[in-house]
Amino acid sequence: MKYNKFWRDVLLGVENLLLHKLRSFLTMLGVVFGVGSVVAMLSVGEGASKEALEQIKKVGSNNIIITSMKSVEEETETNQRGPRMSIYGLTYEDRERIARTFPAVKQTVPVKLIREEAHIGERSMEIRVVGTTLAWFDIVRRPLLAGRILSPSDFEGHSAVVVLTEYGARRLLATKNTIGENLRIGTDNFMIVGIVKSEGGKAADLQLPDQEVDAYIPINIAKTYYGDTTRDGTDSREMKQVELDQVILEVEDLEHVEAVAKGIEVMLDRFHTKKDYAMSVPLALLKQAEATKRTFNIVLGSIACISLLVGGIGIMNIMLASVTERTREIGIRRAIGAKRKQIITQFLIETVVLSTLGGIVGLGLGIFIPLVITLTAGMPTVVTPLSVMLPLFISIAIGIVFGLYPAARAAEVDPIIALRHE
Amino acid sequence: MNNDLNPRSNHIMVELDQAKKIYPMGGQEVRALDGVSMSFREGSFWAIMGPSGSGKSTMMNIIGCLDRLTEGRYLLEGHDVKTLDDDALSEFRLKHLGFIFQSFNLIPQLTVQRNIELPLYYLGWEAKESEERAIELARRVGLEKRLDHRPTELSGGQMQRVAIARALANDPQVLLADEPTGNLDTATGDQILEMLVDLNNQGKTIIMVTHEDHIAAHAKSRLHMKDGVIERLEGEFE
Ligand SMILES: Nc1ncnc2c1ncn2[C@@H]1O[C@H](COP(=O)(O)OP(=O)(O)OP(=O)(O)O)[C@@H](O)[C@H]1O
Ligand SMILES: [Mg+2]
């Protein structure tokens, strides 16, 4: 019964608003655009940060990636003196020292990288040979598509085996049936034992550990086949001597990641005369991304608040005018026997209906715009339950907050004055 | 000169006792009611007359529980109105009083039916019952074909009939009419008056303000006001 009466009141409110369609529509616009921009901005922001976060998580937030890099000083020296051999980067000793010094480090993965031409029959492509240990597959977890990953016996037996990535396998026309066949890398022959998926590409600001053109081989094979001295870059005649191109660490506890990273940096700086490595800490980037997102949300929130405030004030303004205009009606209702709170309810319902309607239309707009953005600009957008519920809730709240004062003014109308014939 | 032929009741509906309504106006004060003592019995039909500014509307507002006395007492069906708060006054108006105004005071955006239903809405009636009641009342005032019309589509006399139907919706004991024929021509005014006489015959207590003698002549009793006090009473009273 109460329920029925409520909807009857809402219907009466809607009827009243429909009497002045244009005015009601114009009054709603403030809330429409306010809510619309909130929803749109939330979904665009959410989409952008979700993509960034996902990419960063792919790298592994427990991981620290240290990459050998020619130091800036050496870079300039090379330019001056022409072809030469440069010695730099991480060493086997570095890796052991890290494992020894930091108990929080769960595992360390040494990586040797060699660019080479790979062939299966007639097909060939340039690949990145990744000499690494078993732990690689533990840290860089990618689905196995065919065959198997490297096994301990490959290392013990010094087996010349290779695991291809999906992309590389496709380029070389390798399929499930190719498992067990021969892959020639440079002049060496390897047996293909498996194919894994590769993520490849860049994640936000950092390189993922794996690339699409990877071929994984046991690190001891890489060491015996290629040694530590390789060509520096594909078409350069310069040589480089680097023991480990990369060391990837997995830290046991998320809380320790940043402290460990700091410690390693201090330690490496002590043993390296030049800054010949670069450290990337996905967690730090993750935190940074989250902080950026927070700032973004605060800025968006403020803008949204202002536009909603303006919308609310617009509604209040019109409702105040409406109360003045309908003084006589209010007087009649009061004379007949309407209580003050019934007048308040009547006007409040009208305001809330108006603002909620504005909220719903704004929501439609706010979902439609990101959709267009996604379709045209290819930018990812995400409409979360929160970005739908929040604006709706806010628009109802706006109706109540900004409707209360006009409604109270309506309730204060003195029927005697209102009914005095003019 | 007691010619009370109405055996219906000696019950006092409305009683004013030394009623004063004083408006402070700058340094001076306006004594709109300046000590009025008067009883209106159940089933009576009073015309309140008097020159402009004599306090007729003020008295109606007091009786209608729209305003409060500055001094004195006002009893409606034995209840001292002074003790009632705003909500209780609204409740009183809703349950016991029906208003008819000079300018009809229908709500323009509502249909005839909705206007008639208004008191029932505040009484919390269900939609179906109040619709039935509105149709019945419209029939009583001869407007059953106009239920879906807006007030602006009606003539003055028709609007006043809607107002009467609305005033009757809550079945009040007392009808208060402040110049109900003031905006109507003589013929239409007479029709409205006939309706009021009918209602009085059915037992409603009616208090009506009017300027016109021929309108006042329809009432059983007449009360003449002057400068906020009763000048004289005429007709059937005790
Ligand atoms: N709110 C008010 N403030 C000050 N004075 C008022 C107020 N209402 C009424 N008055 C004064 O009280 C007196 C009585 O007014 P009232 O409206 O009762 O007269 P009336 O008899 O109904 O006159 P009319 O025939 O013109 O309608 C008048 O002098 C009026 O100016
Ligand atoms: Mg008057």
Q: Which domains does chain B have, with CATH numbers?
A: 44-56+86-235 (3.40.50.300)
User: What is the arithmetic mean of pLDDT over B100-105?
Assistant: 94
pLDDT at residue B4, as a whole number: 44
CA distance A362 to chain B (A): 29
User: Please, which pLDDT band fits residue B6 given cuts at 50, 70 and 90?
Assistant: very low
User: Please, which pLDDT band fits residue B192 given cuts at 50, 70 and 90?
Assistant: very high
pLDDT at residue B174, as a whole number: 95
Q: Which of A125-129, A372-376, B229-233 has the least mean pLDDT?
A: A372-376
User: Please, which pLDDT band fits residue B9 given cuts at 50, 70 and 90?
Assistant: low
Q: Which residue has the higher pLDDT, A58 or A202?
A: A58
CB contact under 8 A, A336 and B101: no
User: What is the arithmetic mean of pLDDT over A7-21?
Assistant: 87
Q: Which residue has the tokens 């308040």?
A: A344
Q: Which residue has the higher pLDDT, B61 or A211?
A: B61
pLDDT of B5 > 50? The answer is no
pLDDT at residue A288, as a whole number: 81
Q: Is B28 in the pocket of ligand 1 (CB under 6 A)?
A: no
pLDDT at residue A367, as a whole number: 86
**How many C-alpha atoms does A83 have within 13 Å on its Cβ side?**
7
Find chain A residues with C-beta within 8 A of B122's C-beta: 333, 336-339, 342
pLDDT of A236 > 70? The answer is no
Find chain B residues with C-beta within 8 A of A337's C-beta: 90-95, 97, 119, 122-123, 170
Q: Is the pTM higher than 0.90?
A: no
Find chain B residues with C-beta within 8 A of A340's C-beta: 86-87, 90
Q: Mention every residue, 6+ apart, whose C-beta is less than 8 A from residue B191.
A: B157
Q: Mention every residue, 6+ apart, whose C-beta is less than 8 A from residue A237.
A: A83, A231
Q: What is the pLDDT of residues A34-87, one digit of tens each?
A: 888 888 887 877 777 777 777 777 777 888 999 998 877 766 665 555 556 778
Per-residue buried b or exposed e for A373-385, using 16+ beta carbons within 10 Å of the residue's own CB: bbeeeeebbbbee
pLDDT of A235 > 70? The answer is no
Q: Which residue has the higher pLDDT, B80 or A378?
A: B80
Q: What is the mean pLDDT of chain B?
A: 91
H or E stretch at A68: strand A63-68
ipTM of the shown complex: 0.93
pLDDT of A335 > 80? The answer is yes
User: Please, which pLDDT band fits residue A207 given cuts at 50, 70 and 90?
Assistant: low
User: What is the arithmetic mean of pLDDT over A91-112?
Assistant: 91
pLDDT at residue B3, as a whole number: 42
Q: Please check whether residue A265 is in contact with residue A239, taking contact to mean a CB–CB distance below 8 angstroms.
A: no
Instruction: Find the farthest-apart pair of alpha carbons in chain B and give their distance in angstroms, rounded.
Output: 55
Nearest CB to B61 within list A341, A342, A416: A416
User: What is the arithmetic mean of pLDDT over A379-408?
Assistant: 88
pLDDT at residue A332, as a whole number: 96
Q: Which of A250-264, A367-381, B221-235 has the least mean pLDDT?
A: A367-381
Q: Which residue has the higher pLDDT, B5 or B123?
A: B123
Q: Which of B6-20, B189-203, B216-230 has the least mean pLDDT?
A: B6-20
pLDDT of A234 > 80? The answer is no
B residues 67-96 closer than 8 Å to A (CB)? 67, 86-87, 90-95
CB contact under 8 A, A332 and B105: yes
SS (H, E, C) chain B: CCCCCCCCCCCEEEEEEEEEEEEEECCEEEEEEEEEEEEEECCCEEEEECCCCCCHHHHHHHHCCCCCCCEEEEEECCEEHHHCCHHHHHHHHHHHEEEEECCCCCCCCCCHHHHHHHHHHHHCCCHHHHHHHHHHHHHHCCCHHHCCCCHHHCCHHHHHHHHHHHHHHCCCCEEEEECCCCCCCHHHHHHHHHHHHHHHHCCCEEEEECCCHHHHCCCCEEEEEECCEEEEEEECCC
For A134, the 3-state DSSP assignment is coil
Q: Please check whether residue B162 is in contact with residue B113, taking contact to mean a CB–CB distance below 8 angstroms.
A: no
User: Please, which pLDDT band fits residue A280 given cuts at 50, 70 and 90?
Assistant: confident
CA distance A184 to A26: 72
Say yes or no: B122 contacts chain A, CB-CB below 8 A: yes
CA distance A46 to A289: 12
Instruction: Give me the helix-helix angle, A385-411 and A21-59, nearest 10°.
Output: 150
* B13 closest CA partner among B76, B68, B61, B84: B76
pLDDT of B1 > 50? The answer is no
pLDDT at residue A290, as a whole number: 79
Q: Please check whether residue A203 is in contact with residue A289, taking contact to mean a CB–CB distance below 8 angstroms.
A: no
Least distant ligand from the CA of B58: 1
Q: Which residue has the higher pLDDT, A333 or A234?
A: A333
Which residue owns the Cα nearest ligand 1 atom 10? B32
H or E stretch at A40: helix A21-59
Q: Mention every residue, 6+ apart, whose C-beta is less than 8 A from residue A291.
A: none
Q: Is B56 in the pocket of ligand 1 (CB under 6 A)?
A: yes
pLDDT at residue A76, as a whole number: 62
CA distance A231 to A242: 10
Q: Which of A142-156, A189-203, B96-110 has the least mean pLDDT?
A: A189-203
Handedness of CA B183, B184, B189, B193 (dihedral sign): negative
CA distance A340 to A408: 8
Q: What are phi and psi of B53, to 5 degrees?
A: 85, 10
Q: Which residue has the higher pLDDT, B150 or A58?
A: B150
Q: What is the mean pLDDT of chain A?
A: 86
Q: Which residues of A touch B (CB under 8 A)?
A: 1, 4-5, 8, 15-16, 19, 328-329, 331-342, 415-416, 419, 421
What percentage of chain A has pLDDT greater than the value 70? 92
Give the atom of ligand 1 at the shortest distance from the alpha carbon of A416.
1
* Long-range Cβ pairs for the range A415-419 (8 Å, 24+): A415/A330, A415/A331, A415/A332, A415/A334, A415/A335, A415/B66, A416/A331, A416/B61, A416/B66, A416/B67, A417/A331, A418/A327, A418/A328, A418/A330, A418/A331, A418/A332, A418/A334, A419/A328, A419/A331, A419/A332, A419/A335, A419/B101, A419/B105
Q: What is the pLDDT of residues A341-362, one digit of tens each?
A: 999 999 999 999 999 999 999 9
Q: What is the pLDDT of residues A170-200, one digit of tens each?
A: 888 777 778 888 899 988 999 999 999 887 6
User: What is the arithmetic mean of pLDDT over A300-309?
Assistant: 82
DSSP structural state of residue A244 = B
For A403, the 3-state DSSP assignment is helix
Find chain B residues with C-beta within 8 A of A341's C-beta: 87
Q: How many CB atoms neighbour CB B86 within 10 A?
A: 12
